[in-house]
Structure 1
Amino acid sequence: MMLKIYRVLGKKGRITIPYEIRQRIGFRYNDVLSFTQQNDGSVLVRREKICDNCNEFAEEFEENFTLEDFLDSLSEEEQRNALLHLSMLWAEKQKH
């Protein structure tokens, strides 16, 4: 069953993902989401897995915890894996 819910994009570009959608998809607090524009103009939103133990310290995150703070909290190997992952995503987008 397709669920369609409308939200208004705020002037700072913020929007709340509806609770029903977060529940169905399994999005959780502090998930890292990617947004990919498809050729037909639609946008694909997906949860990205950057590290294996992210949930171990997710409870410690503050509301204004930045991506930079998150990356600084990773081990060197996890930072390298995140960099490789993001670099591959960037390179893939450059092909299109």
Structure 2
Amino acid sequence: MLRLFRVLGKRGRITIPFEIRQRIGFRCNDVLSFTELDDSSVVVRREKICDNCQYLEEDFEENYTLEDFLDSLSEEEQRNALLHLSLLWAEKQKH
């Protein structure tokens, strides 16, 4: 098991070490979830945010924008993404 240390910044930010990103396969713009376990450890997972993301990987272009991605989602998926982002934004405004 690879174990590396990083310092959590004053704004709560941290960089996932390159070696770990490379071994796990994390890529730019991946959506990650954080789950706290009973022993106070945290599990980080890459999440699949839509059912038809597979075709996006095959047809991915370097200049593919967030707007392009959102346009490719169904109305329900867009609504869920908007709700999720709105809740995140509201939480950040409290701090």
Q: TM-score range by the shorter chain?
A: 0.5 to 0.7
Q: Which runs of 5+ in 2 are unaligned?
A: 85-95
- Find the partner of 1:60 among 57, 64, 83: 64
Q: Secondary structure at the match of 1:20?
A: helix
Give the TM-score normalised by structure 1.
Answer: 0.62
Q: How far apart, in 2, do the equivalents of 1:80 and 1:19 lie?
A: 33
Instruction: Give me the identity figure in percent.
Output: 64
**Contact 1:30–1:58 (CA<8 Å) still a contact in 2?**
no
1:42 corresponds in structure 2 to: 41
Looking at structure 1, the residues matched to 39 and 68 of structure 2 have their Cα atoms a distance apart, in angstroms, of 33
The amino acid that maps onto 2:45 is: R
Tell me how far apart the structure 2 counterparts of residues 70 and 9 of structure 1 sit (CA, whole Å): 33
Stretches of structure 1 that go unaligned for 5 or more consecutive residues are: 87-96
Pick 1 or 2: higher relative contact order, CA cutoff 8 A, min separation 6.
1
**Count of residues paired in the alignment:** 77
TM-score (norm 2): 0.63
Tell me, yes or no, if the aligned pair for 1:37 and 1:44 is still in contact at 8 Å: yes
Question: What is the Cα-based RMSD across aligned positions, in Å?
Answer: 2.9
